[in-house]
A = this chain, B = another copy of it.
Amino acid sequence: MSVKNLASHPIGIFDSGIGGLTVTRALINLLPNENILYFGDTAHHPYGEKSTAAIQSYSLKIAQLFLEKNCKLILIACNTASSAAFELLKDYVGEKATVMNVIDPLVQQLPKKYANKKIGLIGTKQTVNSNIYKKKVDQLNAGIHMTSYPTNLLASAIEEFGNHEIVNDLLRVYLDHPSLKNIEALILACTHYPIVKDKIANFYQHKIDIIDSSDIVAEAVKVQLAALNLLNTEPSVRKDFYISDYIESFVTSTKLFFDEDIQLEHYPL
């Protein structure tokens, strides 16, 4: 197959639910020509409270689907799955496609601005307990001191309440935790959190940086595809959105994450 044909193959993006649509939105804005296959594993949502083995097994099934659909690149658009299943998926997929996650592009940006500084991170229990951000940051030897705190209920609260005041109450409970004191930046290590980025910035009275990976990840995908000479130059012909369990309310929720109506197709894992 020629490289030109391969460039038209879709990018496969998956998340435990519809939260990964925030990264997908950023990616489509930056690379409008790309064909997209999105998979939201709503049957197992949320991943944050599942075991590593369970998340690995779901991720493998989704990657298998993406390979059957000839994806040129697979993006794990979920911090929990990125921490639990990235190495495994890279091994499993091998040369058949490029596998990317939402953690590495962000970590690589950190030394420029935060060398020898203290930064915080919030994410699901799985993401925080995996300690994956801290391990990767420590490997950079940039003197970055990273602390983290699991904000388990935040993603569901955002899905249910959007910008309601109760989300502020919950944020206060979480962000007041001693482990997040005296930080100079906060990493939002979950695709849901950018939706309440303003509330989080307000909590810190805009005195610290709030780091959201969507645009950074989209840019990293562009760089990677360009390096492989796989950027699609023809107009996009397909953007498909699959979910492993279908309930009506997802249709309204997707707007929160994607800014426009999309057609969700039920595709059991």
Q: Which residues of B contact A161 (CB under 8 A)?
A: 153, 173
Interface string of A159-194 (1 = CB under 8 A from B): 011001010011001000000000000000000000
A11-45 residues with Cβ-Cβ distance < 8 A to B are 42-45
CB within 8 Å for A249 and B50 given contacts A153-B153, A156-B153, A169-B169: no
- A125 contacts B245, C-beta separation under 8 Å: no
Q: Which residues of B contact A246 (CB under 8 A)?
A: 51
Q: Which of B152, B156, B166, B245 contacts A169 (CB 8 A)?
A: B166
A50 to B43, CA, bound (A): 7
A96-155 residues with Cβ-Cβ distance < 8 A to B are 125, 152-153
- B247 contacts A49, C-beta separation under 8 Å: yes
Q: How far is the CB of A135 from chain B (nearest CB, A)?
A: 19
Q: Which residues of B contact A160 (CB under 8 A)?
A: 152-153
A206-255 residues with Cβ-Cβ distance < 8 A to B are 245-247, 249
Asked whether A93 is an interface residue with its Cβ less than 8 Å from the other chain, the reply is: no
A170 to B87, CA, bound (A): 39
Asked whether A60 is an interface residue with its Cβ less than 8 Å from the other chain, the reply is: no
- B153 contacts A51, C-beta separation under 8 Å: no
We find that the number of chain A residues with CB closer than 8 angstroms to chain B is 24
Q: Which residues of B contact A43 (CB under 8 A)?
A: 44, 50, 54
Asked whether A6 is an interface residue with its Cβ less than 8 Å from the other chain, the reply is: no
Q: Which residues of B contact A156 (CB under 8 A)?
A: 152-153, 156
Other 8 A-B pairs with CB < 8 A, given A164-B173, A169-B169? A50-B245, A54-B245, A125-B249, A152-B160, A153-B156, A153-B161, A156-B156, A161-B173
In order of increasing CB-CB distance, the 10 nearest A-B pairs are: A54-B245, A169-B169, A166-B173, A51-B247, A51-B245, A152-B160, A153-B160, A50-B245, A51-B246, A153-B156
A–B pairs, 24, beta carbons within 8 Å: A42-B49, A42-B50, A43-B54, A44-B44, A45-B49, A49-B247, A49-B249, A50-B247, A51-B245, A51-B247, A54-B245, A125-B249, A152-B156, A152-B160, A153-B153, A153-B156, A153-B160, A156-B156, A161-B173, A164-B173, A166-B169, A166-B170, A166-B173, A169-B169
User: Which residues of A does B touch, CB under 8 Å?
Assistant: 42-45, 49-51, 54, 125, 152-153, 156-157, 160-161, 164, 166, 169-170, 173, 245-247, 249
